[in-house]
Amino acid sequence: MVFEHLQDLFDLEVSTNTFPQLFQVCSHVVMNHIPMPIVRVFGATRLLALAKPFGGIQLIVVGEVLYRFVNKVLFLHFHDTFFIHLLFHQFGVVIKGRCEVVVHGI
């Protein structure tokens, strides 16, 4: 699935009444009620190789759109819980600029 597929789902001129189905699919993903072959698809990524301006290659990994969408919704919903529980145990989730602290500490 690509971003344009999600756009079409929410475009009322193209399709109607798709939000309940999307909600149902996302709920199954969250509750881990999906078959293993589909779980593998969610873990799939696309690798893009872009030429850097001064030589070399920049690799960019793009995750599956529906998986990223569900993760973003969960993150926004549980943002405060993540902040409370992960504050002193990690440096990359919820708090901006913490990775720089690790880099400068090293």
**Confidence at residue 50, expressed as pLDDT on a 0 to 100 scale:** 93
Backbone φ and ψ for 100, nearest 5 degrees, come out as: -60, -35
**pLDDT of amino acid 13:** 61
For residue 2, with 0-12 CB atoms within 10 Å meaning exposed, 13-18 middle and 19 or more buried, which class applies? exposed
Q: Mean pLDDT, the chain, as a whole number?
A: 79
Question: What's the pTM value of the predicted model, to 2 decimals?
Answer: 0.60
| β 45-51/57-63 pair status | antiparallel
Q: How far apart, in whole angstroms, are the C-alpha atoms of residue 67 and residue 31?
A: 13
Query: What is the C-alpha separation between 106 and 86, in angstroms, rounded?
Result: 21
Mean pLDDT along residues 19-35: 82
Dig out the tokens for 39 from the structure. Answer: 């779980």
pLDDT category of residue 93 using cuts at 50, 70 and 90: low
